[in-house]
Structure 1
């Protein structure tokens, strides 16, 4: 198709019957983004949603099927933001999703302080390594490492965007959970739900989903874990339902 560039392809978001522009050399979404969209509370008709570190717009696209409220994606990389805009246009969602190509650390004045109902974020997981150890592909390096923003940046901005009682949702690595919880509480986001994701039944968790409420009361729930693969190597019924909208 004419709007695809270079090695881009048009993939299916099967459960939501949408299409998304992807590129193996620039950005392709992973299961963590799908799980974040599934985990997050999505208001049906009132409020607004901001997705930070939006990449090619996968989280806004996924949640768009479940709400009538406006959704804003924030992405600093021009190529990824452009991919997201083309996916939004292809799916005829321009009236619902707006992509903002901007450093998330500067976006609060534009979007409004303490105005939004929900913030989602799939941030870079790893602290910035020495330049010699970074991925030579700058697109992938920025997506994976805290080159353009830190975990603290994302939590501070999420809190600033949320109105009182608003919900912030993050997906990250379990080894940074205590850091996440400390930063959330320091920024008026009271942790309320935590869910671990395991690649297999007897394997350690390799992802964690966390929800916090702006100025919420104390008390956190630990949800049943998600197991991604079964003993034969295929997806579990739970993950099939999330990915494809069916469990068989």
Structure 2
């Protein structure tokens, strides 16, 4: 299949544009690569409750960029992110351009080795849909690093979030309930205080908001997502 040009942005062979809403916004995805799912959408809907128009938001492990792009379109916040996979990073930046967003705040880096090149204490919020399972788990065939900790761990994510966040800024995370204890411990280890948690009604996943330098005290709710 030949490359397609859409509004001056090139869609490469195997890529397609998919709608994000009813307003004509789209995102680039590849039929044979990682494609976002319900966890990413749940994270976006959760984070938008707390994010304001003038906030700066960083999307860790951003993949094709769907969480950050949806937040920018919905909330009017400035968004950037980090993604280790070069092809996904490229799709994210082009999706930003297709939607009239500035993609210059995205980094194609390995946060485990390049954390020091990321801006320190510059962001009001960090969002992340990290790999759920340990490196020795059975990874899925397509984009195995998206499901298992082959390139980044939960601890890496929380450590990087602390660097990025301003005092009072918050990490918003979607994660597997089987590792809830690890998520809470990692947040406390790196100076982020869990303040709010929403547990999926099916008991399999949860959404967490942890504030840099926050006071102890967390509320917990349950809903279907």
Structure 2 length-normalised TM: 0.88
Segments of 5+ residues of structure 2 without an aligned counterpart are none
Segments of 5+ residues of structure 1 without an aligned counterpart are 199-203, 229-248
Deviates most, 112-121 or 56-65: 112-121
Does 1:120 pair with 2:118? Answer: no
- Hey, what's the Cα distance between the residues in 2 that align with 1:108 and 1:48? 18
| Matching residue within 2, 14, 21 for 1:14 | 21
Does 1:43 pair with 2:52? Answer: yes
- Hey, what's the Cα distance between the residues in 2 that align with 1:60 and 1:127? 25
Deviates most, 59-68 or 28-37: 59-68
- Match of 1:185, SS state, is helix
- Hey, what's the Cα distance between the residues in 2 that align with 1:38 and 1:134? 27
- Match of 1:165, SS state, is strand
Show CA shifts across 1:85-117 (max 9, x none): 1111111212x6632111123454333222211
Partner of residue 118, structure 2: 111
Question: Structure 2 matches for 1:32-181, cutoff 5 A?
Answer: 32-40=39-47, 41-45=50-54, 47-94=55-102, 98-129=105-136, 133-137=138-142, 140-181=143-184
Q: Which structure dedicates a bigger proportion of its chain to strand?
A: 2
Paired residues of 1:192 and 1:221 also in contact (CA < 8 A): yes
Structure 1 length-normalised TM: 0.81
Q: RMSD value over aligned CA atoms?
A: 1.9
- Hey, what's the Cα distance between the residues in 2 that align with 1:16 and 1:176? 37
- Hey, what's the Cα distance between the residues in 2 that align with 1:58 and 1:48? 16
- Hey, what's the Cα distance between the residues in 2 that align with 1:112 and 1:90? 25
Partner of residue 217, structure 1: 215
How far is 1:68 from its partner? 4.0
How far is 1:19 from its partner? 0.2
Paired residues of 1:53 and 1:123 also in contact (CA < 8 A): yes
Paired residues of 2:131 and 2:149 also in contact (CA < 8 A): yes
- Hey, what's the Cα distance between the residues in 2 that align with 1:104 and 1:34? 23
Paired residues of 1:108 and 1:161 also in contact (CA < 8 A): no
Partner of residue 226, structure 1: 223
- Match of 1:72, SS state, is strand
How far is 1:65 from its partner? 1.9
Count of aligned residue pairs for this structure pair: 216
- Hey, what's the Cα distance between the residues in 2 that align with 1:97 and 1:211? 26
Question: Structure 2 matches for 1:190-201, cutoff 5 A?
Answer: 190-198=193-201
